[in-house]
Structure 1
Amino acid sequence: MKSTPTSNRMYGLIVLYEMHSDFLLRALEGIDEKDAQKRLDTKANHIAWITGSVVQGRYFLAKSFGIDLPSITDELFANNKSIVDDAVYPSLAGLIKDWQAISPHLQEALTQASDEQLEEKLNIPGMEITLFEMISFNTYREANCIGQIALWRRLLGYAGMNYM
């Protein structure tokens, strides 16, 4: 761990955050841009959409801490928008750039979050959720999405994801 969190509740989540920061990059390693947009004649979310949604999740969470940076995901992923059939999604290179831009800022905010701050209610229509609950959900979702990308790698004929 790079630094000690202010809140003891954040230890495990920060460890996972650091793992996910690296694992997403490993999951995307070597994937061709044209393959990232393939759905293989299904309605499944493709790699570009999955990656964009995870990137957008970090930017959304960062905004909860007052970090308001622009992202290439701002339009196509606003308000948890689902995949659009004929849309061309941002390149993996662009999504990776945004991932690497937001991740250190958000990690610092997560590390410095106080217990009081973690109990703040978020203003999300139709939901009553604390910031800590949103961080926990986002952490779970990142792991899920990285796993989906790892599966897509195999479905598209790429080698399995390298965790080391």
Structure 2
Amino acid sequence: MEGFNPLVIQFDLHQRLFNNVLDGYSDEETNSRLEGFPQVNHVKYLAGHLLNSQYGIAMIAGLKPEVRWNELFAVMGMSKAKDHIDYPSIEEIIGEWNKLYIPTREGLLRLTADQLRGKAPQPFDTVSDSLGELWAFVSHHQAYHIGQIGMLRRALGKSAMSYS
């Protein structure tokens, strides 16, 4: 979609914030829940769940990515954080996210207004009527989870996430 597109601006922002919010975590730290709060997801689950959402945005952009680790990080309530299992490393998750960025962004820029007004694919038509609304919904979902990881950073004694 040519010209000013707030969703592309937000997509670019999420690229930066995803990397910034995960900066400085060891792989071991990302597997640990906040002490005393077993109901709170650990960072690795949230990062993987964000990656799973990024695959969704890649599909909106017309890509056909190989969705890795879906059984661990699926969206729409089809997964939950687990303890003491062999998750991929946080570096693998970050690497996969970053690998998707450029081709997804290029695909998003090619979307036309008519495509964005078109029907959202199943099963996502339960949360959005159009492809554009689905993109906005997933983008909001990502902001929510980036914020959760940001809160966990502070609770785990790390510095606040950088916006730069």
Say yes or no: TM over 0.5.
yes
Paired position in structure 1 for 2:147: 147
Deviation at 1:106, TM superposition (A): 1.3
Q: List aligned pairs for 1:12-51, cutoff 5 A.
A: 12-40=6-34, 41=36, 42-51=38-47
State the alpha-carbon separation in 2 of the partners of residues 29 and 142 from structure 1: 17
Q: List aligned pairs for 1:81-120, cutoff 5 A.
A: 81-86=78-83, 87-120=85-118
Is the CA contact 1:72–1:95 (under 8 Å) kept in the aligned structure 2?
A: no
- What runs of 5+ residues in structure 2 fail to find an aligned partner? none
* TM-score relative to the length of structure 2: 0.86
Deviates more, 1:61-70 or 1:50-59: 61-70
| Cα-Cα RMSD | 1.9
Aligned residues: 158
State the alpha-carbon separation in 2 of the partners of residues 70 and 21 from structure 1: 19
Deviation at 1:147, TM superposition (A): 1.0
Deviation at 1:159, TM superposition (A): 1.3
* AA in 2 matched with 1:141: H
- The sequence identity of aligned pairs, in percent, is 27
Paired position in structure 2 for 1:76: 72
* TM-score relative to the length of structure 1: 0.86
Provide Cα deviations, 1:38-74, integer angstroms capped at 9, x if missing partner.
1124211111111111111111222234311224333
State the alpha-carbon separation in 1 of the partners of residues 103 and 8 from structure 2: 13
* AA in 1 matched with 2:93: L
Provide Cα deviations, 1:75-102, integer angstroms capped at 9, x if missing partner.
3223532314334332110111111111
- What runs of 5+ residues in structure 1 fail to find an aligned partner? none
State the alpha-carbon separation in 2 of the partners of residues 66 and 153 from structure 1: 34
